[in-house]
Amino acid sequence: MKITERLGLLKLAKRNWTMLLVVGILLISLVATVFLVQRQQQMRGKAAGASVTLAMSSAVNSTNHAMVGTPFTVNVSIGNQTDAYEISAANVVVTYDSNLLDLGTNPVALGSFFPFPSGTEMLNKVDTATAGRVSFALGAACPTVIPAPTPVNGQTPCSTNRGSGILATLNFVPKAAGTANVAIIADSGNTAIAAVGQTATVLTSTAVSPLSLPIDPAPVTTPTLSFSVTVQEAITIPTTPRGTMAANLTLLNPTTGAVVGSPFSITMSQNRTSGLYETTSPVVLTGITPGSYRVMLDGVGHLKKELTKVNGVSTPVNLVGGSNTPDWKAQQLFGGDAIKDTANTVNALDFGKLAGDFLNSATQGTSTADFNFDGRVDALDFGALAGNFLKAGD
């Protein structure tokens, strides 16, 4: 081989060795860089003041109560002080009072901490099998999506994240009134936070303040009505208690006078102290919405009376959801209408009924002509009918 050819081969070999040396140096530098980055992350994580914490928050608090049947949410947030770690995943276990709370239809919703575009969500392992406990896991690993997901807010989809934000939102529906406790089980056996370059959870505090959430009963929308009236013939209080009075209570539209709903059958008895006849229990006005109404009372043996009429003028009562106790003690029922005909007047038909039952032992305690409810039809009832003869009701 000629000397010039040997020199050429030597030069080529030298050039190849140089290239291999450069590649080797680059590989060593890359490995060193990765190692230094991981060390830097570890050092940052151990730096003074660095911490990763979890917290819960809700719009429900001591002044803003939840209500039975009305859903509300609890946010589970992560705090990464000084951005010390590059958070990559989280597994969180939450307990709640199952006697007071149910999980909503969508128990756990993704928060904003990890930038997940629609279709690439990595919220998995949502476990609601145990009453009073819900766990969820979410992470930065992105599933294969074709086409590739578009960056969200300038961030690579499914990327890791630093800083602070909401990991997930829990949805609850209160089912009973009381104070419900919601807490994170933050020990390492249940809840963990993973970060790049770390082999153990980076959660630096297991002391997560629980939430005490006050829950009020659902508002009562059905009105109830309790009241007393004066019965003309039964003002006195005899030694033997008077009988009860059966009656129909009817609500009217305050403008048109049309009947609202169906009449309510009620029972009234005499108060042994005041002498007034009062409802024996609150009248539950089923099917009646809160609002303004005229109220009619039609007691057995007595003329119809509009309880909301004052000095001849209808003054509707405003019924609210729940208890209503209007003062109708001055409203007086007049006896004599033994026959409930369309005339709504004390007339000859009523006199005929009284005459037929007069001193009749077979009708004692049952006659509609017993206007004072003393159990018999006698001269006192005749006097009531005579005094109200041809009188008309409302």
pLDDT at 144 over 80: no
Where among 156, 184, 216 does a domain terminate?
216
Amino acid at 10: L
Where among 216, 242, 265 does a domain terminate?
216
pLDDT at 390 over 80: yes
* Residue 154 pLDDT class (50, 70, 90 cuts): very low
Residue whose C-alpha is closest to residue 79's, from 63, 67, 90: 90
pLDDT at 147 over 60: no
Same domain, 191 and 234: no
pLDDT at 263 over 80: yes
pLDDT in tens, 173-182: 999 999 999 9
Token pair of 45 as six digits: 């994580």
How many residues are given for the chain? 394
Task: Give the domain CATH number at 342.
Answer: 2.60.40.1120
Place of tokens 């980076």: 202
Residues 6+ apart with CB under 8 A from 35: none
pLDDT at 14 over 60: no
Same domain, 177 and 242: no
Average pLDDT, the chain: 83
* Residue 286 pLDDT class (50, 70, 90 cuts): very high
As a whole number of angstroms, the distance between CA 361 and CA 352 comes to 17
Span of 131-140, 230-239, 256-265 with lowest mean pLDDT: 131-140
pLDDT in tens, 183-209: 998 876 788 888 888 888 888 877 788
Higher pLDDT, 215 or 137: 215
Average the pLDDT over 215-229 and give the result.
91
As a whole number of angstroms, the distance between CA 290 and CA 329 comes to 23
Q: What pLDDT does 64 receive?
A: 95
As a whole number of angstroms, the distance between CA 335 and CA 277 comes to 14
Same domain, 78 and 111: yes
Higher pLDDT, 215 or 237: 215
Same domain, 92 and 202: yes
Same domain, 110 and 237: no
Q: What pLDDT does 368 receive?
A: 92
Higher pLDDT, 47 or 220: 220
- Percentage of the chain lying above the pLDDT 70 cut: 79
Residue whose C-alpha is closest to residue 128's, from 145, 103, 147, 146: 103
Q: What pLDDT does 363 receive?
A: 78
Average the pLDDT over 127-149 and give the result.
68
pLDDT in tens, 350-384: 999 999 999 887 777 789 999 999 999 999 999 99
pLDDT in tens, 74-126: 999 998 877 778 888 888 999 999 999 999 888 988 888 876 654 444 555 67
Domain span at 90:
51-216
Token pair of 16 as six digits: 């190849």
What DSSP line would sit under 166-230, residue for residue? Answer: EEEEEEEEE-SSEEEEEEE--STTT-EEEETT-SS--------PPEEEEEEPPPP-SEEE--EEE
Same domain, 228 and 123: no
Same domain, 100 and 229: no
| Residue 81 belongs to some domain of the structure | yes
Residue whose C-alpha is closest to residue 91's, from 199, 204, 211, 184: 184
The pTM (predicted TM-score) of the whole model is 0.53
Same domain, 77 and 100: yes
Task: Give the domain CATH number at 138.
Answer: 2.60.40.680
* Residue 145 pLDDT class (50, 70, 90 cuts): very low
| Residue 27 belongs to some domain of the structure | no
| Residue 37 belongs to some domain of the structure | no
How many domains does the chain divide into? 2
| Residue 23 belongs to some domain of the structure | no
* Residue 156 pLDDT class (50, 70, 90 cuts): very low
pLDDT in tens, 28-69: 665 555 444 455 555 454 444 568 899 999 999 999 999 999
Where among 216, 243, 275 does a domain terminate?
216
Same domain, 195 and 252: no
| Residue 160 belongs to some domain of the structure | yes
